[in-house]
Amino acid sequence: MGVPHPEIPLRDGQSLASQIVQDVFASVVDLYARLSAEDTAVDEFGFDPELVDDTLMPALRPLYRKYFRVEVEGLEHVPSEGSGLVVANHSGTLPMDALMLQLCLHDDHAAHRNLRMLAADLAFSVPMIRDLARKLGHVRACPENAERLLREGALVGVMPEGYGGLGKPFDERYRLRRFGRGGFASLALRTGRPMVPCSIVGAEEIYPMIGESPTLARMLKLPYFPITPTFPLLGVLGLMPLPTRWKIRFDPPVRTDGFAPGAAEDPKVVEKLAGEVKDTIQHRLSGMVRERDSLF
């Protein structure tokens, strides 16, 4: 015999349906007010750890735990205190991997670390998305912002492939694109902070990108307009990601505190270190893909 559901007390003159709609609307209005509020931020970037803990991470948790069923290895390589640079591959058409990586370190790391992701300008050009990104602790990707966070003891996340990795065609999955010009390695050298290579498997397949429309991308001022087996064919329903099984792996940090002063200005040193991190991630990705039993 099942356990009866508790009765939902109805307000005077309201049906259950109208009450639910009103409550949902009130919750959305409250969330919008908190997203746009400035007095809850703990720094000038807009980071709101209370909103992250109470609202944003709980909203993402079902995706992480139940939908993508994320498995994590190597968390001991991520510093429990002090700053560091987590360098990860980027994929999936929409930046779901950045959010899952952030939740991984917030929930599963022993020190429950807040990862301050470096985000592209596009994330700060749309009002609602901009407010959400700022509250989550994301900052505009530029050397000055990143260096300031590292010197203040923050754990910073960077995905050097950028849009090149995010908008990668499906037939090129798990083959890393160019890691920029190695700016992340120069940043680590200037601050003497370690770089932790991070490899994410599973995100490549959530929105299999089989084509793109340059015309629509130009019209909408987007870096690309993806075409997947379900989008735009199924409209909004086509934005539902596939329930792939994910794995996130952190490798031992690449240290930068033993280099001579000025190493950050030496292109050969920067290129070597950036290449070492990229090769580590590529090698790990290839092995993880070979070893997985099933995509789902």
- pLDDT of 28 strictly over 80: no
- pTM for this one? 0.88
Report the Cα–Cα distance between both ends of the chain, in Å, rounded.
34
Asked whether the beta carbons of 99 and 60 are under 8 A apart, the reply is: yes
Q: What pLDDT score was predicted for residue 201?
A: 98
Distance, in Å, from the CA atom of 236 to the CA atom of 124, rounded to the nearest integer, reads 23
Count of C-beta atoms within a 10 Å radius of residue 232: 14
Write the pLDDT tens digit of every residue in 182-195.
999 999 999 999 99
pLDDT tens, position by position, 45-96: 999 999 999 999 999 999 999 999 999 999 999 999 999 999 999 999 999 9
User: If you write DSSP's letter for every residue of 236-251 in order, what string do you get?
Assistant: GGGGSPP----EEEEP
Residue 209, token pair as written in the block: 């990108």
Is the pLDDT confidence value at 2 over 50?
A: no
Is residue 29 pLDDT above 70, yes or no? no
pLDDT digits (tens, 9 = 90+) for 135-167: 999 999 999 999 999 999 999 999 999 999 999
Q: Is 180:89 a contact under the CB 8 Å cutoff? A: no
Mind giving me the DSSP string for 92-138?
Answer: SSSTHHHHHHHHHHHHTSTT-PPEEEEE-GGGGTSHHHHHHHHHHT-
Q: Cα 156 vs. chain centroid, distance in angstroms?
A: 11
CB-based contacts of 175: which residues, under 8 Å, 6+ apart? 168, 282
pLDDT on residue 227: 93
Of 12-21, 97-106, 182-191, 208-217, which gets the smallest average pLDDT?
12-21
Sheet of 139-140, strand order:
71-73, 247-250, 195-201, 84-88, 155-158, 115-119, 139-140
List, in order, residues 6 or more apart from 1 with CB less than 8 Å away.
Answer: none
Token code pair at residue 65: 């735990």
Query: Per-domain residue ranges for the chain?
Result: 16-206+241-291
* Confidence at 32, pLDDT banded by 50, 70, 90: low
Assigned CATH topology for domain 16-206+241-291: Glycerol-3-phosphate (1)-acyltransferase (3.40.1130)
Q: How confident is the model at residue 181 (pLDDT cuts 50, 70, 90)?
A: confident
Q: Which two tokens stand for residue 227?
A: 């075409």
Per residue in 239-277, pLDDT tens? 899 999 999 999 999 999 989 889 999 999 999 999 999
Q: What is the pLDDT of residue 188?
A: 97
* Average pLDDT score over the chain: 89
Q: CA 185 to CA 270: how far, in whole Å? A: 6
199 three-class SS: strand
